[in-house]
Amino acid sequence: MIDKRRAGAAEAVADVFDGATVMIGGFGEAGSPIELIHALIDQGATNLTVVNNNTGSGEVGLAALIQAGRVAKMICSYPRTMNSTVFPKLYRSGATKLELVPQGTLAERIRAGGAGIPAFYTPTSVGTPLEEGKERRTFGDRDYVLEHGLVADFALIKGRVADRLGNVLYNKTARNFGPVMAMAGKVTVVQAARIVPAGELDPECIVTPGIFVDRLVEIPDPAHESELVAAGVSYP
């Protein structure tokens, strides 16, 4: 019998290794798998390359992972957010590197990686400083740059409901990078507020098909980053 459920977040991230590339879902706090990130901090893996749209806020979740010195490199589109103070400090000191990627290019690189497409051309960044080092090619009357697909050793994602086969539904704009990261992770771990028996979710409404998900953890009442930041929480 297939059962992707794990007993807890610690078990689900136990084999994340030093030097791994980890995709972490979320756009700001929406969709941030904060319990999985905290389990990763406890687990201790370091020298990570992390893919996320932002760099976290306050001293919880992704920001806490960065603050703990575990992140060698961030691949993201917008490392400046309200209450984002941890990353700027480590970036300026040289401790954490940054690969800045336009948001749509980041999403498509992840989608391509998960879909077996090694690279693609996009008009985004042509004629800007972010074109530097990229191959340019003309199709029709327009110039495009070559961008490479992105894959990861692990993807950590937050869903709302999942079934034991790994089918996932999300909550509103918390969906954001989840579905494409689920495709691009060699091992995809989803935390969901509720895990239901197979057959309970309408097959017409599944957002992430279970084939893209390897492990599930039920986190019934996930924390909201903004509430932790407002309360001055610092993890661990």
Partner 1 sequence: MTAAPDTGETVGLDRDGMARRVALDIPDGSVVNLGIGIPERITKYVPAGRELIYHTENGLLGMGPAPAPGSGDPELINAGKRQVTAIPGACYFHHADSFAMIRGGHIDLCVLGALQVSERGDIANWSTGEADAIPAVGGAMDLVAGVSAIWVVTQHCTKTGDPKLVERCTYPLTGPRVVQRIYTDLAVIDVTPHGFQLVELSPGVSFEYVQQRTAARLHPIPDGQATPAGG
What gap in Å lies between CA 26 and CA 38, rounded to an integer? 15
- Residue 46 binds partner 1, judged by CB under 8 A: no
- Residue 27 binds partner 1, judged by CB under 8 A: yes
- Residue 67 binds partner 1, judged by CB under 8 A: no
Stretch touching partner 1 by CB under 8 A, among 16-24, 35-43, 99-107, 191-199: 99-107
- Residue 148 binds partner 1, judged by CB under 8 A: no
Stretch touching partner 1 by CB under 8 A, among 15-23, 41-49, 59-67, 100-108: 100-108
- Residue 30 binds partner 1, judged by CB under 8 A: yes
- Residue 177 binds partner 1, judged by CB under 8 A: yes
What gap in Å lies between CA 71 and CA 170, rounded to an integer? 27
Closest distance between partner 1 and the C-beta of residue 45, in Å? 25
- Which of 131, 153, 161, 158 is closest to 143 using CA atoms? 131
Residue with Cβ nearer partner 1 (16 or 34):
34
Among 12, 20, 168, 174, indicate the residue that binds partner 1 (CB under 8 A).
174
141-167 burial code (b ≥16 CB/10 A, e <16): eeebbebebbbbbbbbbbbbbbbbbbb
Among 58, 149, 179, 185, indicate the residue that binds partner 1 (CB under 8 A).
179
Among 6, 13, 21, 28, indicate the residue that binds partner 1 (CB under 8 A).
28
Closest distance between partner 1 and the C-beta of residue 54, in Å? 9
- Number of amino acids touching partner 1 (CB under 8 A): 53
- Residue 63 binds partner 1, judged by CB under 8 A: no
Stretch touching partner 1 by CB under 8 A, among 41-49, 147-155, 173-181, 187-195: 173-181
The DSSP-derived string for the chain is: ----B-S-HHHHTTT--TT-EEEE--BTTBT--HHHHHHHHHH---SEEEE-SS--STBSHHHHHHHTT-EEEEEES----TT--HHHHHHHTTSSEEEE--HHHHHHHHHHHHHT--EEEESTTTTSGGGTT--EEEETTEEEEEEE---EEEEEEEEEEEETT--EE--GGG-TTHHHHHHHEEEEEEEEEEEE-TTSS-GGG-SB-GGG--EEEE-SSPPPHHHHHHTT-B--
Residue with Cβ nearer partner 1 (29 or 59):
29
Residue with Cβ nearer partner 1 (177 or 235):
177
Footprint of partner 1 (CB under 8 A): 27-31, 53, 77-82, 87-88, 91-92, 98, 100-108, 110-111, 122-130, 170-180, 207, 224-227
